[in-house]
Amino acid sequence: MMLELLTFGILAVIALASAVMVITRRNAVHSVIWLTVTLFAVGGIYLLQHAEFLFAVQIIIYVGGIMVLFLFVVMLVNIDVAVKQARFARQGLVAVVTAALLMAQLGYALYNHGRNLGLPIRPEIPEVSQNTQAVGMVLYQNYMLPVEIASILLLVAMVGAVIMAKRKFE
Amino acid sequence: MIHLPADYYIYLGSGLFTIGVIGVLTRRNVLIILMSIELILNAVNINLVALSQYFRSVDGQVFAIFVITDAAAEAAVGLGLIIALFRNKETLNADEIDLLKW
């Protein structure tokens, strides 16, 4: 319990601090690097909760795929222009007030209704293969149709991205 | 062995969500707005995994996998849009992209 709390604290601080760095950096390349740190910390949170398969998915797809895509696009577009411009939009004050309201709302709801949400005592720690096995069973038995729909979504997104990034529209 | 209560993970998720919302609302660079959306999706995933452990069912983790799939599709299309936008308008500033305003 103590060790778990310590690990959680370290990972949570890393995740939140690097998320703040993501939204405050002037250079988009730095933002991408900090976002990678956040994603690693979130993967550690998954591992802490014995969601090993999701941890692997997070590292392979998010860090290995999406972040590389982001980095490619940041390198493709001209960053010198963006670095010189003002970082924050004109509606900054309104946005921060809105976000503070959102945070207050979330905190109020969690504090008043989330306190008795304690996790019950787990009888035993599941093996690594058991998590992957359980996720696979549920994914391909109960969620067969959503898997197919997700594959069609990915196909549509792939075609859409190619058409968007094509040089000329006919 | 007693595990951490799900509350902690949900607090972390809501904090990350709020940081992502602040990023979407305040930044001007379209790329960083997209990254903030990734932060929001990660916050949602933390909550899904925490509650899937709380309810002792892997359905939440399966849903998180679908969220990651959507994030990948969204990133591909969004970055394609950004490339097309940059080619046509030579800017990434969200305040200058006002073709549909009158």
For residues A58 and B32, what is the distance between their CA atoms, to the nearest angstrom? 20
DSSP string of chain A, one letter each residue: -HHHHHHHHHHHHHHHHHHHHHHH-SSHHHHHHHHHHHHHHHHHHHHHTT-HHHHHHIIIIIIIIIHHHHHHHHHHS-HHHHHHS-SB-TTHHHHHHHHHHHHHHHHHHHHHHSTT-PPPPPSSPPPHHHHHHHHHHHHHHTSHHHHHHHHHHHHHHHHHHHHHHSS---
Q: Which residues of A touch B45 (CB under 8 A)?
A: 42, 54
Q: Which domain holds residue B83?
A: 30-92
In a domain, B67, yes or no: yes
In a domain, B54, yes or no: yes
Q: Angle at Cα B84 formed by Cα A33 and Cα B37, nearest 5°?
A: 40
Could you tell me if A71 lies within 8 Å of chain B, comparing CB atoms? Answer: no
Fold of A1-86: Four Helix Bundle (Hemerythrin (Met), subunit A) (1.20.120)
In a domain, B87, yes or no: yes
State the distance between the two ends of chain B, measured CA to CA, in whole angstroms: 62
For residues B72 and B79, what is the distance between their CA atoms, to the nearest angstrom? 11
In percent, how much of chain A has pLDDT > 90?
40
Rounded average pLDDT over A30-59: 92
Token readout for B12 is 């972390």
**A70 → closest Cβ in B42, B75, B80:** B75
In a domain, B60, yes or no: yes
In a domain, B3, yes or no: no
Could you tell me if A32 lies within 8 Å of chain B, comparing CB atoms? Answer: yes
Helix or strand (DSSP H, E) at B80? helix B59-89
Domain ranges of chain A: 1-86, 129-170
Token readout for B16 is 């990350």
**pTM: predicted TM-score of the whole model, two decimal places:** 0.86
In a domain, B4, yes or no: no
If one counts the domains in chain B, the total is 1
Given a contact cutoff of 8 angstroms between Cβ atoms, the answer to whether A34 and B35 are in contact is: no
pLDDT tens for A54-66 read 999 999 999 999 9
* B-proximal residues of A, 87-106, CB under 8 Å: 87-92, 94-96, 98-99, 102-103, 106
Query: Could you give the C-alpha distances from B7 to A63, A117, A150, B39, in angstroms and in order?
Result: 27, 6, 30, 19
pLDDT tens for B2-26 read 567 777 888 899 899 999 998 998 8
For residue A117, the distance in angstroms to the closest alpha carbon of chain B comes to: 6
Given a contact cutoff of 8 angstroms between Cβ atoms, the answer to whether B32 and A23 are in contact is: yes
Nearest CA in chain B to A158: B76
Kindly report the CATH number assigned to the domain that includes residue B87. 1.10.287.3510
In percent, how much of chain B has pLDDT > 90?
43
